[in-house]
């Protein structure tokens, strides 16, 4: 099994990514860290605990509260899509450990994440599905972490379109300076970016919702409700018929690379502001002849196979 660490900002699609990382048969989720993004850090951390609780994750999987703001800019939250709580308006039980673990600021959070990854005993894949602040700090403060990582896979960025501005994807816009650190960090083992162009082909369609509802349980009902909230928000904000499930695509990539097409290229992050702040500048045609620093996922070959994988993970979570 591949050891994976998930850095996230739950978040509707993050919730599904946690489930896939915890229950895909070829992955072993060794820890979760949280970051502000879809909501403030208090809320995303609370949501990580909630998802872990309702999905039955063993309490041996640590949930570490990470950095609470971008490196040098104001916080942007995704309330328009993910609601005031970050998980819609759904009434789901709180993890019993939540109150005791969350309220204190953990001044050693970076060290604690680093130490867990270092001590796994085999290479770890770091999957980042929120703003890249924690990842950038880890690379700066503990550069030796690179020895313990096989890959950093991020959901974020885009080749062309934006979803937070016309030119930038939400996670990248949120902390472009952190993204710059990650994309320009020397000797990062293998950096992979799953951009919007790919995640915008993975829709939670009516057929998908029907399949989810055929797993009759309180857990699947909750997940279906999350998708309902997400669908309504995507309809209102982007006029999409169905919502794209971004974050689990990064987990699916780690679980089964054969399902994806990728291209190695040079990627820079725009940090100067103006219209293009947070944009990922993907040199698809190698026009600059710069070092190719990122595998950009170009396509998911069979979307149905993604959904088979996602629904199997949900079934596994349900059976535990």
> Cis peptide leading into 11, omega within 30 of 0?
yes
Q: Partners of 28 in the beta sheet? A: 3
Place of tokens 């309504």: 232
Closest residue to ligand BDR, judged by C-beta, is 170
197 sits near ligand BDR (criterion: CB under 6 A): no
- Each residue 139-168 as x (binds ligand BDR by CB under 6 A) or -, in order, gives ----------------x-------x-----
169 sits near ligand BDR (criterion: CB under 6 A): yes
CA dihedral (310, 311, 316, 317) positive or negative: positive
**Smallest gap from residue 175 Cβ to ligand BDR (A):** 12
**Smallest gap from residue 231 Cβ to Ca ion (A):** 17
66 vs 68: CA distance, rounded Å: 6
175 sits near ligand BDR (criterion: CB under 6 A): no
16 sits near ligand BDR (criterion: CB under 6 A): no
Contact of residue 39 among ligand BDR, Ca ion, none (CB under 5-8 Å per partner type): none
- Each residue 224-243 as x (binds ligand BDR by CB under 6 A) or -, in order, gives --------------------
Q: Which is nearer to Ca ion, 11 or 157 (CB)?
A: 11
The secondary structure of 71-82 as a DSSP string is SSS-----HHHH
Q: Which is nearer to ligand BDR, 169 or 268 (CB)?
A: 169
The secondary structure of 131-196 as a DSSP string is -SHHHHHHHHH-GGGGGGEEEEEEE---SS--SSSSS--HHHHH-HHHHHHHHH-TT-S-EEEE-H
Residue 246 annotated among the catalytic residues of the structure: yes
258 vs 260: CA distance, rounded Å: 5
**Which DSSP state fits 70?**
-
R_g of the chain computed on alpha carbons: 18
167 vs 190: CA distance, rounded Å: 25
- Each residue 240-269 as x (binds ligand BDR by CB under 6 A) or -, in order, gives ------xx----------------------
**Smallest gap from residue 144 Cβ to Ca ion (A):** 27
Looking at 66, 70, 78, 195, which residue binds ligand BDR (CB under 6 A)? 78
129 sits near ligand BDR (criterion: CB under 6 A): yes
Looking at 77, 133, 167, 171, which residue binds ligand BDR (CB under 6 A)? 171
Place of tokens 């500048």: 281
Contact of residue 78 among ligand BDR, Ca ion, none (CB under 5-8 Å per partner type): ligand BDR
In the structure, how many helices (H) and strands (E) does the chain have? 13, 9
| C-alpha angle 176-310-253 in degrees, rounded to nearest 5 | 45
Q: Which is nearer to ligand BDR, 49 or 148 (CB)?
A: 49
The footprint of ligand BDR (CB under 6 A) covers 11, 13-14, 38, 78, 81, 129-130, 155, 163, 169-171, 246-247
Give catalytic residues, as residue numbers. 246
């Amino acid at each position: 099994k591949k050891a994976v660490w998930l850095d996230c900002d739950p978040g509707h699609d993050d919730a599904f990514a946690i489930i896939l990382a915890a229950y895909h048969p070829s992955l072993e989720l060794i820890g979760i860290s949280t970051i502000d993004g879809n909501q403030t850090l208090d809320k995303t951390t609370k949501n990580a605990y909630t998802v872990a609780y309702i999905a039955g994750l063993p309490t041996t999987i640590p949930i570490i509260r990470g950095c609470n703001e971008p490196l040098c800019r104001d916080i942007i939250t995704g309330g328009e899509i993910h609601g005031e709580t970050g998980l819609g308006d759904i009434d789901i039980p709180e993890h019993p450990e939540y109150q005791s673990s969350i309220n204190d600021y953990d001044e050693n959070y970076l060290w604690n994440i680093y130490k867990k990854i270092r001590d796994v005993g085999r290479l770890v894949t770091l999957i980042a599905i929120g703003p890249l602040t924690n990842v950038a700090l880890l690379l700066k403060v503990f550069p030796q972490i690179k020895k313990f990582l096989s890959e950093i896979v991020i959901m974020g960025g885009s080749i062309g379109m934006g979803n937070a501005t016309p030119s930038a994807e939400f996670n990248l816009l949120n902390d472009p300076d952190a993204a710059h650190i990650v994309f320009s960090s020397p000797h990062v083992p293998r950096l992979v970016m799953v951009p919007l162009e790919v995640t915008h082909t993975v829709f939670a369609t009516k057929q998908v919702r029907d399949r989810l509802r055929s797993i009759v349980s309180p857990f699947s009902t909750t997940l279906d409700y999350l998708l309902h909230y997400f669908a309504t928000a995507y309809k209102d904000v982007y006029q999409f018929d169905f919502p794209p499930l971004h974050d689990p695509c990064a987990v699916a990539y780690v679980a089964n690379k054969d399902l994806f097409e990728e291209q190695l290229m040079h990627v820079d992050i725009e940090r100067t502001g103006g219209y293009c702040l947070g944009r990922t500048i993907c040199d698809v045609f190698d026009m600059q002849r710069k070092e190719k620093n990122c595998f950009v996922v170009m396509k998911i070959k069979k979307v149905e196979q993604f959904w088979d994988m996602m629904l199997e993970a949900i079934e596994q979570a349900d059976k535990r």
